[in-house]
Amino acid sequence: MANEIVKDTSVLLTEKRMFEPGNEVIEKANVKNWKAEREKGKDLEAYWGEKAENFHWFEKWNKVLDESEKPFYKWFTGGKTNITYNAVDRWINTAKRNQVAILYVNERGDEKKITYYELYKEVNKLANGLKRLGVKKGDRVGIYLPMSPELPVSLLACAKIGAMHSAVFAGFSEGALAERLNDAEAKILITADGTYRKGSVINLKNIADEAFLQCPIIETMIVVKHCGNEVNMSDLSGKDIWYDNLIEGEPSECEPEKMDAEDPLYILYTSGSTGKPKGVLHTTGGYMVGTATTLKTVFDIHDGDLWWCSADIGWVTGHSYIVYAPLVLGTTTVVYEGAPDYPDPGTWWKIIEKYGVTQFYTAPTAIRHLMRFGDKFPNRYDLSTLRLLGTVGEPINPEAWMWYYKNVGKEKLPIMDTWWQTETGTFMISPIPVSPLKPGSATKPLPGIEAEVVDKEGNRVPVGKGGHLIIKTPWPAMLRTLYKNPDRYVETYWNVIPGGVYTAGDIAREDEDGYFWIQGRSDDVLQIAGHRIGTSEVESAFVSHDAVAEAAVIGKPDPVRYETIKAFLILKEGKKLTPDLMTELKKQVRHELGALAVIGEMVQVDILPKTRSGKIMRRVLRAREKGEDEGDISTLVE
Ligand code: PRX
């Protein structure tokens, strides 16, 4: 089973194959010398200061890095810019004016090409429409949209006027949506009638309406007509407005808000090991410099490229690398809506052939899924326009890496296995095209990033030994805080390991060549098909059902999704975990969280292992599951 390879760390560490880049890759590469660039990156201020010169600033910064209030680091202080101005406006007086900025394609084969000039007008109209609804700089706008063109447009329109967007992945259900919108105190929600998924249309407006009932702060819901399915707009309070009606007649010019480099750009919620989802806050200047620089370095973006990141914009991967970075670099970015295997498992390869995609970036879970259908699908299409491949989201097992390398990369294309997080904003540990690759390793920290594997006391662990992955120095796109919760920011990331370092929450190993092998989370966070889900969120979804007294969940290895949920349930007096109850519980969790919370197994138990203070010891459950000695379980990270 593929996933067992990932979990069995001895296999990863005995993986000795090394793949060198071909001459064509080296000749074209934006950065030709990996080692030299990493040396250059050691002078943080000089390195990032030089990179920042590539972008437009209304006023230049006075200081590249301000560490005076660490861990509340500031970047490019005194600088004034606007990320939408950089992503859209600045291209319209250049040769890129009529170049396609966004290529929207869906599983039904529909397409829409939006040029930079068209994007400029659309963004401005929505920005003006939002202003008309009273949205001002610093306000939060909730976004619950499918992968339709209006999703990137909405992000860009908010950023243009300095409103913070808070997008929620459209696979989340109303409970999860409402919780996030309430925390962000969003007063507007942009949603749509529906989304296409595996041949059917999912009505998003219904879900948004349910969430609205739990969100007293939301005043207006802007509804995009995307699928043309019927939705209920008859609300008497006047809260619903069609997107088209809102922007109709709005001017196609809108002055960009001159944002301080440290003004907030967006909030994006992610799961932690305990409690509610965390509102990761990203700011403007450093995020722009970090995302665009890393995309250019790692995926070697050149004029004329067609970049495709298959993630959803509702996650950080889409924010950084479908919307902001590619557009700030003036490239063409693909926005794909639908499943990877509909109408058949050749869909993605067909799109690559049809449009001539040059760089393709996806998740290991998608590769493992498509792998099951065999080689015939990728081999049926001409994939020769591709120059580089990439993955993100969870460790990629060497078997899936090799399949991707052989069948999609034709044994020529380097695979950029990028390790990063919602919090980091950008790739952190990743090869660049000229790096020698080892299947399953994200290789080394990027230039300007200093990472290490340490024990609980912060001492570097010996080669090959597991430890906590930490980042030792600040980087421009780092999260600045957790929204409305600075204490939790300090506690979660900076007070875990001594030495003022950022703790990622991952277990990693470094090999004798200094290559990093990410082994998975060290905390109670699940990775299901590339989606990060907190155990406590799933547990509260279970206990919201009448029959459940207590619940504890852990990750259950899965050959395709990496993990699914295994739930240990204490049921109320006299209840039995019958097949009917299991179906109900699945429904309940789906209702509370969304279809992304995939349950692999449920078992009824009488007691759960707990600490003296009553905290569930999921580590014990995990150890039992693997047949390990419970006493030894801490050895994995120490
Ligand atoms: O455990 C790591 C895993 O995904 C986590 C971050 O999840 P999220 O914030 O949702 O962002 C995902 C996309 C950036 C990390 O803590 N992860 C991400 N990339 C990799 C990875 N694990 C191994 N290899 C990767 N390339």
pLDDT value at position 13? 58
Asked if residue 395 has a cis previous peptide bond (ω within 30° of 0), the answer is no
**Which of 352, 355, 354 is closest to 370 using CA atoms?**
352
Rounded-to-integer distance, Cα 332 and Cα 376, Å = 29
3-state secondary structure of 323: helix
pLDDT value at position 581? 97
Report the pLDDT averaged over residues 522-548: 91
Classify the C-alpha dihedral 478-482-484-489 as positive or negative: negative
Residue 251 CB burial class (10 angstroms; 0-12, 13-18, ≥19): exposed
List, for residues 373-429, the tens digit of each pLDDT value.
Answer: 999 999 999 999 999 999 999 999 999 999 999 999 999 999 999 999 999 999 999
pLDDT band at 14 (very low <50, low <70, confident <90, very high): low
Contact 497, 491 (CB under 8 A): no
Is residue 466 pLDDT above 60, yes or no?
yes
pLDDT value at position 10? 46
Mutation pick for ligand 1 pocket among 287, 527, 562, 637 (CB with most ligand atoms within 8 Å) = 527
Measure CA 83 to chain center: 19
Residue that is written with structure tokens 């090869």 in the block: 431
Nearest atom within ligand 1 for CA of residue 505: 16
Rounded-to-integer distance, Cα 310 and Cα 399, Å = 21
Distance 393 CA to ligand 1 centre (A): 4
List, for residues 155-200, the tens digit of each pLDDT value.
Answer: 999 999 999 999 999 999 999 999 999 999 999 999 999 999 999 9
Question: pTM of the prediction?
Answer: 0.94
pLDDT value at position 619? 85
- Alpha-carbon dihedral 383, 389, 391, 397, rounded to 10 degrees: 80
**Which of 337, 287, 361 is closest to 87 using CA atoms?**
287
Q: Where are the beta strands (DSSP E) in 456-521?
A: 467-471, 481-482, 502-510, 516-521
pLDDT value at position 235? 66
Distance 265 CA to ligand 1 centre (A): 22
Whose C-alpha lies nearest to ligand 1, atom 21? 394
pLDDT band at 614 (very low <50, low <70, confident <90, very high): confident
Is residue 632 pLDDT above 90, yes or no?
no
3-state secondary structure of 209: helix
pLDDT value at position 558? 93
Write out the two tokens for 133.
Answer: 């609804």
Whose C-alpha lies nearest to ligand 1, atom 15? 421
Distance 421 CA to ligand 1 centre (A): 5
Contact 325, 152 (CB under 8 A): no
List, for residues 277-328, the tens digit of each pLDDT value.
Answer: 999 999 999 999 999 999 999 999 999 999 999 999 999 999 999 999 999 9
DSSP assignment of 188-203, as one string?
A: EEEEESEEEETTEEEE
Rounded-to-integer distance, Cα 132 and Cα 126, Å = 10
Is residue 3 pLDDT above 70, yes or no?
no
Is residue 225 pLDDT above 60, yes or no?
yes
Classify the C-alpha dihedral 498-503-505-510 as positive or negative: negative
- DSSP class of residue 396 equals P
Rounded-to-integer distance, Cα 630 and Cα 226, Å = 52
List, for residues 472-529, the tens digit of each pLDDT value.
Answer: 999 999 999 999 999 999 999 999 999 999 999 999 999 999 999 999 888 889 999 9
**Which of 330, 185, 165, 162 is closest to 261 using CA atoms?**
162
List, for residues 39-92, the tens digit of each pLDDT value.
Answer: 999 999 999 999 999 999 999 999 999 999 999 999 999 999 999 999 999 999
Q: Does the C-beta of 442 come closer than 6 Å to ligand 1?
A: yes
Write out the two tokens for 386.
Answer: 């591709």
pLDDT value at position 636? 37
- The crossing angle, in degrees rounded to 10, of helices 150-161 and 116-132 is 60
Rounded-to-integer distance, Cα 283 and Cα 197, Å = 33
Mutation pick for ligand 1 pocket among 420, 441, 519 (CB with most ligand atoms within 8 Å) = 420
**Which of 345, 326, 338, 321 is closest to 147 using CA atoms?**
338
**Backbone angles phi and psi of 194, in degrees to 5:** -170, 180
In this structure, which amino acid lies at residue 332?
T
List, for residues 437-450, the tens digit of each pLDDT value.
Answer: 999 999 999 999 99
Rounded-to-integer distance, Cα 368 and Cα 528, Å = 13
Q: How far is CA 385 from CA 243, 370, 417, in A?
A: 37, 20, 20
Contacts of 310 (CB under 8 A, 6+ apart): 336, 340, 348, 360, 361, 362, 363, 366
Number of C-beta neighbours around residue 295 at 10 A: 25
> Comparing 26-30, 515-519, 612-616, which segment has the lowest mean pLDDT?
612-616
Q: Does the C-beta of 518 come closer than 6 Å to ligand 1?
A: yes
Residue 575 CB burial class (10 angstroms; 0-12, 13-18, ≥19): middle
Nearest atom within ligand 1 for CA of residue 315: 10
Q: Does the C-beta of 316 come closer than 6 Å to ligand 1?
A: yes
Q: Does the C-beta of 395 come closer than 6 Å to ligand 1?
A: yes
Higher-confidence residue of 363 and 275: namely 363
Helical H segments across 185-284, by residue range: 204-213, 243-247
In this structure, which amino acid lies at residue 521?
R
How much is the mean pLDDT over the chain? 93
Distance 418 CA to ligand 1 centre (A): 8
